[in-house]
Amino acid sequence: MRRLFPVTDETAAPAPRGTPGAHGEGGGSEGPGAPGTHGAADRAADTGSASGADADLTGRDVEREWSLAELATAYGFPETGPGGPRVWVRGNMVSTLDGAAQHGGRSQSISCAADMRIFGTLRALADVVLVGAETVRQEGYRPARARAEFAARREAAGQGPAPAVAVVSASLGLDFSLPLFTSPLVPTVVLTGAAAPADRVAAAERAGARVLIAGDGPGVEPARAVEALAGLGYTRILTEGGPRLLGQLIAAGVLDELCLTISPMLTAGDAQRIAGGPSVGVPSRFELVSLLEEAGFLFARYRRS
């Protein structure tokens, strides 16, 4: 994996040593630390490297496997401010070059090992994983597990051993006998509307789930869902979709960040995009804050401008 952002001459093929314009030599190219580019300290902040040692003498990042600690630093949630915990909603999705968010009904076939490492890291940093009911069914969701590699980091952040999973469902048409509900480390949350079937609410609670009402009708209102989760102390919120839920969060204006894996694949067909539902009146503008690459896969991180 290597860092590609900011995209400058640092990411281009290096000029031979000693030629005009090569990094560290005379000429117009800006070496690490020069005005307009990130120096070693900034690279450390962007990538999680302790000293920028992943850059070679030309200033380019060396292709290597990043440690989980480096990934965790690179993808850290915003720090808690003086006013207390900051509620932050982060999305994590994968898309092919032609915009498909899945193939054959699942996202795994368009993913890769590095994507799954980032996926696991994002989960390990979150207080709660917010997901739609259809995605739970299609992807076979299980409870989030505790990971020894992140135990100290979670403890220092005041988090439990693993994130909770919060499922959004209007009908509560879920199989409450699954391990996601019966044997999680942290009780699974079910978010639904006030008009949800009473017998299904009771079934969820009997299975051990915590049911939260986040809408006056049958459905869930995204802003109220975020507020309800924050009320439980879950301020670092990660959503893994699906597309309908992500679209609702975008339309409600509550998505702060999107981590998007761009898969170097073409699938054609009529697969869903990463976000569905009605379009917004005015497109939301996000800014690129980091970009990594491995084996042709791009791992982009965008924040709301």
Reported confidence tier of residue 61, pLDDT bands at 50, 70, 90: low
Top pLDDT among 155 and 104 is at 155
- Rounded mean pLDDT, 195-212: 96
Which residues make Cβ contacts (< 8 Å) with residue 168, sequence separation at least 6? 130, 131, 132, 133, 191, 192, 220, 225, 245
CA distance 247 to 250: 5
The pLDDT assigned to 272 comes to 86
What backbone torsions phi and psi does residue 156 show, to the nearest 5 degrees?
-65, -30
Instruction: Write out the two tokens for 243.
Output: 């597309």
d(CA 265, CA 298): 12
pLDDT tens string 142-159: 999 999 999 999 999 999
Note the pLDDT of residue 283: 86
Compute the average pLDDT of residues 94-123.
90
> In this prediction, what percent of the chain has a pLDDT beyond 90?
61
Q: Count H helices and E strands in the chain, helices first.
A: 9, 10
Span 65-79, average pLDDT: 91
pTM value is 0.81
- Give me 181's structure tokens: 């509900």
Residues 259 and 118: beta-carbon distance below 8 Å: yes
**Can you tell me the distance from the alpha carbon of 34 to that of 10, in angstroms, rounded to the nearest whole number?**
12
Amino acid 62: pLDDT: 66
pLDDT of residue 25: 36
Pick the closest to residue 55 from 32, 29, 76 (CA basis). Answer: 32
β-pairing verdict for 128-132 and 164-168: parallel
Q: What is the pLDDT of residues 264-294, one digit of tens each?
A: 999 998 888 999 887 888 888 999 999 999 9
Distance, CA of 85 to CA of 77 (rounded, Å): 11
Alpha helices in the chain (DSSP H): 40-47, 68-74, 113-125, 133-139, 151-156, 179-182, 198-206, 222-231, 243-252
> Across residues 8-12, what is the average pLDDT?
46
Residue 286 DSSP SS3: strand
Q: Where are the beta strands (DSSP E) in 66-220?
A: 88-96, 128-132, 164-168, 189-192, 210-213
- In terms of DSSP bridges, do strands 210-213 and 189-192 run parallel, antiparallel, or are they unpaired? parallel
Least confident range from 52-61, 71-80, 231-240: namely 52-61
Nearest to 128 by CA among 32, 194, 210, 49: 210
At a CB cut-off of 8 Å and minimum separation 6, what does 286 contact?
257, 258, 302, 303, 304, 305
C-alpha distances out from residue 253 to 87, 135, 170, 226, Å: 13, 22, 21, 11
